[in-house]
Chain A
Amino acid sequence: MPSLAGLFFWMNRKIENINKIIITKPLKLDCGKTIKNFPLAYETYGKLNENKDNAILVFHALTGDQFVTGTNPVTNKEGWWVTAVGPGKAIDTDKYFVICANVIGGCMGSLGPKDTNPENNQPYGLDFPVITIKDMVKAQESLLEHLGIKKLLCATGGSMGGMQLLQFCATFPDKAFSAIPIACSSSHSAQNIALNELARQAIMADPVWDNGKYVSKNVQPKNGLAVARMVGHISYLSEKGMQEKFGRKLQEKADYEFSFNADFQVESYLRHQGYAFVERFDANSILYITRAMDYFDLSKQYKGGLVEAFKNQDTKFLVISFSSDWLYTTKENKDIVIALNASGADVSYSEILTDKGHDSFLLNEPEFLKTLKGFIDSMYEKFKNEKRI
């Protein structure tokens, strides 16, 4: 295994070769600061047709990136939504043009805390401005402009991707013909803020983190970051799903070791997920992105609350939740539906019955994928007809 510093160098070099645009238009952030001439990395799949009416924008979740499907060229692993996006899949790239951008604050080529601060030629670290979901979404809207797409056939995303989507629809009400928010919320709950805080504290408690200045030393607070990831992985599963997957099974051993090694399979799973993660993700990015999620409260941005946020929506919504998701519960998703209903928007809602928890949207859940496909295909027919008229 290469040294971590070496790995970082190698990853950075690979990141140089990915698609990105430089957004020259100044972006005034919610925190008051302005960024300009910043990179936004993105990836596209499939072909944009002549009428430009087959574009689907995907918003990624906390630890996602722009590599939705196929092989991620930086990690050499499968894209994070390979179950749903690809040729012949629910979001069929033979038919649709799929776009996904790395969020600002991220670490896969878009402007983030590990980039160089032009003011002092040092990595930003904690000098990076605190960003919000709205800032992320505004940056991505510039990408649509760059690609020449006036109106998307559909925009979708799960978890933080869904939160970006709700913000996108509220801020740019005429940019998407249809929208599918999946397993998300219109405002981050106390429980979710608490879990994010746990992740941040784990990172900040790692001495290597050094107030975010580790980047210039070419190291990574991998112990803290791994724990942060483990917290996440617990929250993505359900109690029942976890029990069924791991139970009290031991990891390649017949009996307890009477030590603190990973005796149980569930421990081994968490350690594996935690330490695999540090190879592809920047710890400061986790701080910044989780903060953006915590600050997200769409109803706070509008005087009349959530109903007002969705006023004058022509977008056709399909909200999807998963019955065993305790991170973004059915109740939270239904609140979105209720607000959309109250504002008179065209909204559908489906709760998928599953034991797989929040992770369900990334897995091969046939009912979920069928619903996704049915909605997008029917929306495409409608959108084409509407454009013809």
Chain B
Amino acid sequence: MKKEFKVIAELLPNNTRVLDVGCGDGSLMNLLKEEKNIEVRGLELNQENVQQCIHKGLPVIQGNAETELHQFPDKSFDYVVLSQTLQAFYNPEEVLKNLLRIGKSVVVSIPNFGYWKVRMKLLFFGEMPVTKTLPNTWYNTPNLHMCTIKDLFKFCYEKNINIKQVVGVNEDKTSLIKKRNLEIKNLFSKLGIFLIG
């Protein structure tokens, strides 16, 4: 199980209602359902992934988060989860707004473009970074709006979005990110997980 999913599962209380946007093959939904008795729903674009969720008995709606979030009523979920997809939307701001409308709180995780290896690659080699969390090259990456943990922090402040908790993940290590350690964590976290709303 991915460390990221464990962290997300820890952020979510038992017996809640959760929408997993971009739920993939349903791994996270399964974890939440089995271990936390969470009532899960998924939204997923890829047909093969949708089928896998259905085989596992997980409720999933095939659709595009960019255009089809309107179907979910206001505050119809306790939490909405968006794992490592924010950067791939044409309009991440609009998507985030929608997530905050649907969920009472939102969990967003991003691959951190401020991670030191990523910065090194660009600074010393002058190439777009390819790492484990960013496995694609510039011409075939689905990522349109890469950002850093610091960027998302700033975004939330500017848009008056309440930040409840931020967790930095580096392999198996996790740490809480606050304003005071933001610079250093922005350098050493591969992944940032934000609980907002």
Contacts and interface: CB of A to CB of B under 8 A. Distances in A.
Interface string B74-106: 001000000000000000000000000000000
A370 B56 contact: no
Contacts, number: 57
Interface in A299-326: 316, 318
Contact of B51 (A342, A353, A371): A371
A120 B24 CA distance: 64
B27 interface: no
Given A316-B59, A350-B47, A375 B54 contact: yes
Given A341-B73, A344-B76, A378-B56, A370 B51 contact: yes
Contacts of A316: 59
B155 interface: no
Given A337-B61, A341-B76, A350-B62, A374 B55 contact: yes
A342 B54 contact: no
Contacts of B57: 378-379, 381-382
A329 to B, nearest CB: 15
A374 B54 contact: yes
A355 interface: no
A351 interface: yes
B63 interface: yes
B60 interface: yes
Contacts of B63: 334, 349
A346 interface: yes
B71 interface: yes
A375 B54 CA distance: 5
B193 to A, nearest CB: 26
B72 interface: yes
A348 B54 contact: yes
B166 interface: no
Interface string B30-61: 00000000000000000100110111110111
B48 to A, nearest CB: 9
Contacts of B59: 316, 346-348
Nearest to B57: A378
B76 A350 contact: no
The range of chain A's interface size is: 20 to 34
Contact of B71 (A337, A351, A378): A337
Contacts of B60: 348-349
A338 interface: yes
A349 B50 CA distance: 8
A351 B73 contact: no
Interface string A324-362: 000000000010011001101011111111000000000
B71 A341 contact: yes
Given A337-B71, A338-B71, A344-B76, A367 B61 contact: no
A342 B47 contact: no
Contacts of B51: 350, 367, 370-371, 374
Contacts of B61: 337, 341, 347-349
Contacts of B76: 341-342, 344
Given A367-B51, A374-B51, A349 B62 contact: yes
Interface of A: 316, 318, 334, 337-338, 341-342, 344, 346-353, 367, 370-371, 374-375, 377-379, 381-382
17 contacts: A318-B54, A334-B71, A341-B72, A341-B73, A342-B73, A347-B59, A348-B50, A348-B59, A349-B61, A349-B62, A349-B63, A350-B51, A350-B54, A353-B47, A371-B50, A371-B54, A375-B54
Interface of B: 47, 50-51, 53-57, 59-63, 71-73, 76
Q: Which 6 A-B pairs have the closest CB atoms?
A: A378-B57, A374-B55, A338-B71, A349-B61, A374-B54, A350-B62
Given A341-B73, A350-B54, 18 more contacts: A318-B54, A337-B61, A337-B71, A338-B71, A341-B71, A341-B76, A342-B76, A347-B59, A349-B60, A349-B63, A351-B47, A367-B47, A371-B50, A374-B54, A374-B55, A375-B55, A378-B55, A378-B57
